[in-house]
Amino acid sequence: MSTRRHFLQKASLTTLALSLPFSDSIAKALGQQEPKVLRVALMGLGSYASRVAEAMKDCSRAKLVGVISGTPSKIEQWKQKHGLSAQNCYSYENVDQIKSNKDIDAVYVITPNGLHKEHTLTLAKAGKHVICEKPMATTAQEGQEMIAACKAAGVQLLIGYRMHFEANTLDIVKKQRAGEFGKTLFFQGLSGFVIGNPSQWRLNKLLSGGGAMMDIGIYSINGARYLLGEEPIWVTAQETKTDPVKFGEGIDETITFQMGFPSGATASCLSTYSLNYLDKFFLSGTKGFAEMQPSTGYGPIKAWTHVGPLQHSHVTHQTTQMDKMAALILDGKLPLIPVDGEEGLKDMRIVDAIYQAVKTGEKVII
């Protein structure tokens, strides 16, 4: 009898589940609560923040609820466009008041690189989880301070590595880890674009921390690490500059660099602000290869291996990223390729080493 009642109960739950909208049905029918949503404020309303905000409209686990900006007119526009409440909007001067705001869980720092540390420290102190854009800082020392501050405040620090959630990238990483390419002994990363406006912050050392390496070359560093599945132990690097006026002191225009890994694998990479159509990864192993082009742009990412093309459909990177980051912060669900502060720090240590190698002309041991 009890088995029969159990069956009937289950059957009626199933009927109920089928009659509700799909996203709610299972959880509601089983009496579970709907998954929590991460309430996010964006800091720095520039071009990338606009892209993130658009992408977040399709998120199921993350919601844009506030902004922090130095430009009052932008706050007004964003309030209208995204239906934000005035209490969730701040300037850089009063952002410490966010501490008492119970409607914001996390802040996504999308300001110039040279401000990431200061902004992260302020937000950690205010008790908010921080998602910080790449590069996490301008030096490894700054990155360490950011990690320590977030740890001390008991908040999470994530770095905006959107490629760590991209389907083709993840597929190749899984294939590499499963040995499908054999022993992977060579990576090539080409990262670059022609930078425009010479007066932008990206060409101002104080705000950028460096040139193309900080901005775009870091994708090749990061890609080498996740596709080879190892951490480099040395780097060598060479810089060339064709326009010393546009690319002043401390702003690298083009750097070629090499990295060596414990297995004996090597990486050969190019970072530049002076060439377009440079967005390519190549991974070579004893049994096969993987190639991606474009490899880190906004997509669709195109990838193929010795077996043939990968067929994963394109999803806006920042939509997946924000949903997965919400799952990480709210549920502790770890991604295959980490996106925490330590992951950002690993890249910063390599950036530091590359700049040192350029300066000294020597092989730098990491």
Name the minimum Å distance from CB 217 to ligand NDP.
12
Q: Where are the beta strands (DSSP E) in 81-220?
A: 89-90, 106-109, 129-132, 157-159, 184-192
The residue type of 280 is K
Q: How many residues bind ligand NDP (CB under 6 A)?
A: 22
Name the minimum Å distance from CB 222 to ligand NDP.
11
Q: In terms of CB distance, is 113 or 254 closer to ligand NDP?
A: 113
Q: Which of 112, 143, 260, 341 binds ligand NDP (CB under 6 A)?
A: 112
Q: Which of 29, 38, 41, 45 binds ligand NDP (CB under 6 A)?
A: 45
With H, G, I as helix, E, B as strand and everything else as coil, classify residue 312.
coil
* Cα dist from 341 to 68, 134, 141, 159, 321, whole Å: 22, 10, 12, 6, 16
Q: Is residue 95 a contact partner of residue 126, using CB atoms and an 8 Å limit?
A: yes
Pairing of strands 184-192, 266-272: parallel
As annotated, the active-site residues are: 134, 219
Near ligand NDP in 78-107, by CB under 6 A:
none
Where does this chain touch ligand NDP (CB under 6 A) — which range of 3-11, 110-118, 241-249, 332-340?
110-118
Compute the distance between CA of residue 356 and CA of residue 349 in angstroms, rounded to an integer: 11
How many angstroms from the chain centroid is the CA of residue 1? 55
Q: Is 133 in the site for ligand NDP (CB under 6 A)?
A: yes
Where does this chain touch ligand NDP (CB under 6 A) — which range of 111-119, 172-180, 254-262, 325-333?
111-119
Q: Which of 8, 70, 363, 365 binds ligand NDP (CB under 6 A)?
A: 70
- The encoded tokens of residue 136 equal 């996490």
Near ligand NDP in 225-264, by CB under 6 A:
none
Pairing of strands 62-68, 89-90: parallel
Compute the distance between CA of residue 168 and CA of residue 32 in angstroms, rounded to an integer: 33
Q: Which of 105, 166, 215, 291 binds ligand NDP (CB under 6 A)?
A: 215
Q: Is 113 in the site for ligand NDP (CB under 6 A)?
A: yes
Pairing of strands 38-43, 106-109: parallel
- Short-list 120, 113, 174, 178, CA closest to 151: 120
Q: Which of 26, 27, 35, 48 binds ligand NDP (CB under 6 A)?
A: 48
Q: Which of 38, 95, 104, 110 binds ligand NDP (CB under 6 A)?
A: 110
Binding stretches for ligand NDP (CB under 6 A): 44-49, 69-71, 74, 110-113, 115, 133-134, 160, 162, 201, 207, 215
